[in-house]
Structure 1
């Protein structure tokens, strides 16, 4: 079979198995990306979640020595919840970012890519393939851009013509020499809505992200959240969609093409108070299937405490006080104390003072003192 015929068969098959966009790229070194990553490293803009060395992230042949081509795929996900539910004063809710709605996309995309790989091997038994989704060394966005899936926006997302930036990306490196597709020539032009809307100024300039300031990254950290970001989190439990929500290319974009990604409102927008003392088993049963659960319950519970502080939810004072006094984790106790201070009722301040008599951890005591400082503010 000729390689161009195989390419068309792969494109046709991809539609049958639920891949929304597919593109083909060369496996050449990503030279421009390599320089950008080095610059990110120099500026300490990396998140620390990146896998592999800069060389492994930009040289496909280091991952598959026979590499000649990379197949990039994109699958669209919803931007709106069909059966919308809202917070009430009695039951405040948090929000998971859209990319964490439904079943973990790593599982879904890997399934699609494995099917694609098997299809290629059936047609071409000498094919050698390597599948990657997000957690691999290669930059999904750089591959997708080269393969013509979309262009790289100023918000650092791949923006497609059909689905905006609400797409998951994955790739398959292969030893087959497919003819590459042309990159997309669209661009953001003079638009800077995402840069202006970013709550923490993480988008330093068009296409450059300081991950250390990005809320999507910060919601996944496991330590005390730096104080300058606590009021910026809002009601976010995991991730942040602001730079996508304001993007003109995403206006009116909402695709419900895959049942796996359909959000359950009670999970995508969970009640905050029940999250605070959730056991590991309860957490796994309710949230374990989400991509947003990969860091465990600790950062999400911390974010739930900050969200209740954001709402100044007086109905949560008793629950947060119990957490402050009884939770075995210092970071959670300390965040609870800060949140009580932010809520700012006399009952909350009294609870902090009472707990300080028994608290031994210096970090928690420091947070308790910070919580009490809110009492002095007008």
Structure 2
């Protein structure tokens, strides 16, 4: 078999099935990545969502013993929301990050990888493979970088020449001896805009992220949000795009190439108050198809409460009082009590006192005290 010709045929086919960019990486050990991940572990910079051991995350042949190449794919997603609804004083809205717009990208990329695998299986006798998208052990970004899809910017996102960093990534480890592609040169240069713009200082320096401080990570946690981050979360319901939106490489990058990725404005920029009373069934029907729903409704509801506090939305006070008094989840009750104090409507003081008398959870009681202190600035 002429492997070079086969590779060209595969690339042509990949375009037919809706893969925007494709490249080949060797299955050699990711030595530099292994050292970087070890450093991240030692510094406590990991999110905890990572899958697999250090070896499983950096040694492709642990997943496909006879691996000869890794196929990396990229699909571009939209960066601008068409017909975006406006947030008003009566109906404040939150926002999901761009990577959560449209159908869950795990499903979209896995669909493309399955079609590509079926094609390769038909053409290559004895074909073996394993595909991964985001939740696999391998680093999608490291594979894509080695495969020449793009380079890793100082914001730790993969940046492609064509689509900027607005791309989803996936890969397929195979036993086909495709020739690897050449990496793309890093072109961040002296630019440090993303590092300077990070709201929480999570970008410790170029190419190093403390995931524990990253808003994208914090919005996915299920406990009380640490006090120091409540003032910077803004109206973010899920994820954060700051380090992408400020990047010069993303200027005028907005691609609407895949119908599945087109966002519903009412879903990705939802009204905040209705989120506080949404049922499990309604949540699944409304948000179940997007990747931002994977942690369930609790973190999103907590973030919605923080967003209402950010806006100092007095129209939400009645609903927040109800949540503080009736919601069975301590994190939601406590966050609502804190938010009532932050918003500062005088009647909320008495409401927090009444709820405090019946509250038994120590963490919620602590949040209630924080809320009450807003009414007595000298006691903060």
Is the TM-score greater than 0.5? Answer: yes
Determine the structure 1 residue equivalent to 2:294. 294
Please tell me whether residue 339 in structure 1 is matched to residue 355 in structure 2: no
Cα distance in 2, alignment partners of residues 282 and 118 from structure 1: 36
Determine the structure 1 residue equivalent to 2:57. 57
Matches within 5 A, 1:1-378: 1-377=1-377
Number of equivalent positions: 378
The structural deviation recorded for 1:125 is 2.2
CA deviations on 1:38-90 (whole Å, 9 max, x unpaired) are: 00000000000000001000000011111110000000000011112110000
Q: CA RMSD in A?
A: 0.7
Structure 1 runs (4+) deviating above 3 angstroms are none
The structural deviation recorded for 1:167 is 0.2
The structural deviation recorded for 1:348 is 1.8
Cα distance in 2, alignment partners of residues 349 and 292 from structure 1: 34
Q: Assess if the C-alpha contact under 8 Å between 2:164 and 2:250 holds in 1.
A: yes
The structural deviation recorded for 1:299 is 0.3
Cα distance in 2, alignment partners of residues 274 and 322 from structure 1: 13
Q: Assess if the C-alpha contact under 8 Å between 2:72 and 2:147 holds in 1.
A: yes
Cα distance in 2, alignment partners of residues 86 and 188 from structure 1: 34
CA deviations on 1:184-208 (whole Å, 9 max, x unpaired) are: 0132100000000000000001111
The structural deviation recorded for 1:357 is 1.2
In the superposition, the TM-score normalised over structure 2's length comes to 0.99
Unaligned runs of 5+ in 2: none
Unaligned runs of 5+ in 1: none
The structural deviation recorded for 1:26 is 0.3
The structural deviation recorded for 1:368 is 0.1
SS in 1 for 2:32: helix
Cα distance in 2, alignment partners of residues 133 and 374 from structure 1: 45
The structural deviation recorded for 1:352 is 0.8
Q: Assess if the C-alpha contact under 8 Å between 2:94 and 2:270 holds in 1.
A: yes
Cα distance in 2, alignment partners of residues 259 and 83 from structure 1: 16
